[in-house]
């Protein structure tokens, strides 16, 4: 299937391209991209330390990593901070572990604060400013008001709570936190992200599991009516077709307002709907243009596999021997997305590749200040544009 692609990479430090220092030393580069839920993007680099001539890496070093192919270009993987370094021999090697989040200890530190009638964006901005983080919230979530929130938790836990309540993806990268609708098909700046189309030849391995245990026809959430002081309920219906159950799920938390309860019910039901289908696999061609939060449609396979999915985890692995692989896992995606593609509607919103191709070959080309193809293509959910200043 391969077209003879030659994998390549670029590494920047503080705006300086230091790739040449790694070209003959990089044994492997593994980038893991995780769509929220408390997991951080990470990058593990193993270097050949023969002759002990490599300059010693330092904790806190900031690296910008790109992966791609010669003749096609590279694409931005993220800003990463060095957290740990392991020196070993024999063989002589240095293993560098990095995460996308800086100030990891600050994320875990408990903060006590109260927020009264503040929006999600205001809450994240105020809480983040105390530990040096900036907030960027999608407009679908940003102006949502929370009547009262008592934050006796860490900043990381606060992010997770908001992420779950609004069925969003929280990404932390280089001192910034973004919050984006999980299955909305848009970036945090509301740029539409194309849905990928994959066919049997796109996969080296593929597993799909359909799980009826997570099927619920309805989710209910409650709130206290401020006038009558009575407990009221709001419902959110499943969007799945051909449900095999009438089971109803009730959320134990009593919310402060009808709007909060409604959002919670919708978010929980969406998560339950996605949990009914799980997908894992490895692409036939390593493809660094595939990201966490990516929506894709599988077609021309059998019933039970064909459908739409949403990626939660993507791992890109580069090795010195010339291999670049991409593995992934995810859940059932947006209801109706597969049918929308099959009916031929909104064709511009879908990107398909042929046998032996990667998505970098069909991505729209955008102006690029660095001169590297595709690095300024609208990023996947939560992924920031490169900052190399």
Query: Tens digit of pLDDT for each residue in 19-56?
Result: 988 888 899 999 999 887 667 899 999 999 888 888 88
Q: ∠ at Cα 91 (88, 97), nearest 5°?
A: 45
Q: How far is CA 335 from CA 63, 183, 237, 279, 358, in A?
A: 38, 10, 13, 15, 26
CATH code of 141's domain: 3.55.50.10
Mean pLDDT value across residues 141-167: 81
Span 57-76, average pLDDT: 92
For residue 165, the enclosing domain spans: 105-181
Same domain, 172 and 112: yes
Tens of pLDDT, residues 157-212: 888 888 888 888 888 877 788 888 887 788 888 888 889 999 999 999 999 998 87
Which of 225, 249, 271 lies at the terminal end of a domain, its last residue?
271
- Asked if residue 326 belongs to a domain, the reply is no
Residue 346 clears pLDDT 50, i.e. is over it: yes
Q: Does 322 map to a domain?
A: no
> Between 3 and 129, whose confidence is greater?
129
Query: Could you give the percent of the chain with pLDDT greater than 90?
Result: 37
SS3 for 131-184, per residue? Answer: CCCEEEECHHHHCCEEEEEEEEEEHHHHHHHHHHHCCEEEEEECCEEEEEECCC
Q: Which of the residue ranges 54-63, 344-353, 375-384 would you say has the lowest mean pLDDT?
A: 375-384
| The predicted structure's pLDDT at residue 112 | 66
* Average pLDDT value for residue range 71-88: 92
Q: What is the enclosing helix (H) or strand (E) of 21?
A: helix 19-22
Q: Note the pLDDT of residue 386.
A: 33
Indicate if the pLDDT at residue 368 is higher than 70: no
Place 234 in a pLDDT band, splitting at 50, 70 and 90.
very high
174 and 217 fall within a common domain: no
In this predicted structure, the answer to whether residue 388 has a pLDDT above a threshold of 50 is no
pLDDT of 372: 36
Give me the number of domains the chain comprises.
2
- Looking at the domain assignment, is residue 253 inside a domain? yes
Confidence band of 101 (pLDDT split at 50, 70, 90): low
Q: What is the pLDDT of residue 146?
A: 79
Q: 217 and 177, same structural domain?
A: no
Residue 176 lies in a domain: yes
Q: Name the domain boundary from 165, 181, 197.
A: 181
The arithmetic mean of pLDDT across residues 361-379, rounded, is 47
CA distance 367 to 359: 18
The count of other CB atoms within 10 Å of the CB of residue 93 is 17
pLDDT at 149: 74
Model-level pTM?
A: 0.84
Does residue 336 lie in a domain region? no
Inside any domain, residue 372: no
More confident residue, 152 or 129: 129
Q: Is the pLDDT of residue 370 over 80?
A: no
Biggest CA–CA distance in the chain, Å, is: 77
User: Can you give the pLDDT at residue 77?
Assistant: 93
**Any idea what the Cα angle at residue 219 is, between residues 213 and 224, rounded to 5°?**
145
pLDDT, residue 385, reads 32
Q: How confident is the model at residue 8 (pLDDT cuts 50, 70, 90)?
A: very high
83 burial level (CB within 10 Å; 0-12, 13-18, 19+): middle
Name the percent of the chain in helix, strand, coil, to the closest 5.
20, 40, 40
**Phi and psi, residue 100, nearest 5°:** -75, -20
Q: Is the dihedral of CA 89, 92, 98, 103 positive or negative?
A: positive
Domain-located, residue 133: yes
pLDDT of 151 over the 50 cut: yes
Asked if residue 109 and residue 166 are part of one domain, the reply reads yes
Nearest Cα neighbor of 35 from 235, 230, 233, 169 is: 169
Q: In this structure, are 172 and 219 located in the same domain?
A: no
pLDDT tens string 273-300: 888 889 999 999 999 999 998 999 999 9
Domain boundary among 138, 164, 181: 181
Predicted confidence (pLDDT) per residue in 295-341, tens digit? 999 999 999 899 899 999 999 999 988 799 999 999 987 777 887 88
Q: Tell me: do 224 and 168 sit in the same domain.
A: no
pLDDT at residue 322, rounded to an integer: 75
Residue 73 domain-assigned (yes or no)? no
């Amino acid at each position: 299937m391969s077209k003879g692609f030659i994998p390549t990479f670029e590494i920047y430090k503080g705006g300086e391209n230091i790739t040449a220092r790694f070209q003959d030393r990089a044994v492997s580069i593994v980038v893991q991209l995780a769509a929220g839920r408390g997991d951080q993007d990470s990058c593990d680099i193993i270097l050949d330390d023969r002759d002990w001539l490599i300059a010693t890496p330092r904790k806190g070093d900031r690296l910008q990593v790109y992966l791609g192919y010669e003749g096609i270009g590279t694409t931005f993987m993220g800003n990463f901070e060095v957290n740990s370094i392991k020196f070993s021999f024999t063989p002589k090697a240095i293993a560098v572990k990095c995460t996308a989040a800086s100030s990891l200890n600050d994320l875990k530190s408990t903060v006590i604060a109260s927020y009264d009638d503040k929006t999600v964006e205001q809450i994240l901005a105020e809480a983040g400013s105390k530990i040096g983080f900036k907030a960027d919230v999608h407009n679908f979530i940003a102006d949502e008001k929370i009547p009262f929130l008592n934050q006796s938790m860490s900043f990381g836990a606060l992010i997770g709570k908001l992420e779950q309540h609004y069925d969003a993806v929280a990404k932390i990268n280089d001192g910034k936190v973004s919050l984006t609708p999980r299955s909305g098909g848009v970036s945090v700046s509301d740029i539409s992200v194309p849905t990928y189309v994959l066919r049997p030849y796109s996969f080296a391995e593929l597993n799909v599991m359909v799980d009826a245990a997570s099927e619920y026809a309805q989710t209910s959430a409650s709130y206290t009516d401020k006038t009558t002081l009575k407990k009221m309920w709001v419902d959110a219906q499943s969007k799945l077709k051909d449900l095999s159950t009438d089971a109803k799920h009730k959320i134990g938390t009593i919310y402060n307002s009808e709007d909060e309860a409604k959002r919670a019910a919708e978010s929980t039901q969406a998560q339950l709907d996605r949990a009914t289908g799980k997908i894992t696999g490895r692409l036939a061609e390593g493809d660094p243009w595939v990201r966490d939060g990516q929506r894709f449609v599988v077609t021309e396979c059998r019933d039970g596999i064909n459908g739409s999915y949403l990626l939660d985890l993507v791992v890109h692995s580069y090795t010195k021997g010339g291999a670049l692989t991409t593995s992934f896992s995810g859940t059932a995606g947006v209801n109706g997305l597969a049918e929308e593609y099959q009916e031929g509607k909104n064709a511009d919103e879908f990107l398909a590749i042929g046998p032996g191709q990667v998505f970098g070959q069909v991505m729209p080309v955008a102006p690029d200040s660095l001169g590297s193809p595709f690095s300024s293509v609208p990023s996947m959910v939560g992924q920031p544009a490169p900052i190399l200043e």
